[in-house]
Amino acid sequence: MTTAVMIGATGLVGSKLLEQLLADARFTKVVSFGRRPSGQKHEKLEEHVIDFDRPEAWASLVKGDVAFSALGTTIKQAGSKEVQKKIDLDYQLEFAKAAAKNGVSAYSLCSAASADPRSSRFYSRIKGELDRDVQALGFQRVRIMRPSLLGGDRGDRARTGEKLGSVLLGAFNAIGLAKRYREIPGSVVARAMLNAAMEPTPGVHIFELDEVFSAAGVS
């Protein structure tokens, strides 16, 4: 009888993660929190449309056995660094704090390959700060995925820069270069998040790109 709680269910990784959680017989309930509905329907799914700026209204509902965070945005989508920081750091940290306070034992986070709290790059720094702060919340198990360029269908939210990057990385990988940053499908990251969260070894494990593929069972 396992309950999963998650944020980010409308994104590239999160939508795949939600599908996988709903299809997984180990989970009897999946509770999703988001700014808008996921669009998915299932008897196991409970959705809460929330205002992330008002955690006092939803924090008490973040209860379950395993928590997943696949929330994220880009500076282009956010419109400013201030808004991007809210989504990529503040909102996720509030969710993690609520989960820890309510006794959730395991936390699985989709981060980024460049995450580093000491970085001079804004995006890398806030990702690294989130990784660091989640580890300090006292979860029995913390699993942090650090994928590179994400591949998959983004629908009308496709990013021109990422499309170009995917083509270039594919070309470099074909001749054995840039393997460390090769594209990874969102569905593979989702599977790695799920598998790693259910692995019972206590403590923190940070999965770099090759380990994300391995955790998902992909060579």
Question: Which pLDDT does position 1 carry in this prediction?
Answer: 72
**pTM of the predicted model, to two decimals?**
0.88
Q: Which of 16, 85, 86, 127 is catalytic?
A: 127
Query: By percentage, how much of the chain surpasses pLDDT 90?
Result: 84
Q: What gap in Å lies between CA 16 and CA 166, rounded to an integer?
A: 20
Could you tell me the pLDDT band of residue 219, with boundaries at 50, 70 and 90?
confident
Annotated catalytic residue 107: no
Of 7-11, 135-139, 147-151, minimum mean pLDDT range: 147-151
pLDDT, tens digit (0-9, with 9 covering 90-100), for 163-212: 444 444 444 444 454 556 689 999 999 999 999 999 999 999 999 999 99
Annotated catalytic residue 127: yes
Look at residue 55 and tell me whether its pLDDT is greater than 80.
yes
Q: Residues 8-34: what's their mean pLDDT? A: 97
Domains, in order of start, for the chain: 2-150+185-215 (3.40.50.720)
Q: Which of 144, 151, 149, 109 is nearest to 7 (CA)?
A: 109
Question: For the chain, what is the mean pLDDT?
Answer: 90
Q: Which of 107, 123, 163, 181 is catalytic?
A: 123
Q: What gap in Å lies between CA 55 and CA 95, rounded to an integer?
A: 8
Please indicate whether residue 107 or residue 151 has the higher confidence score (pLDDT): 107
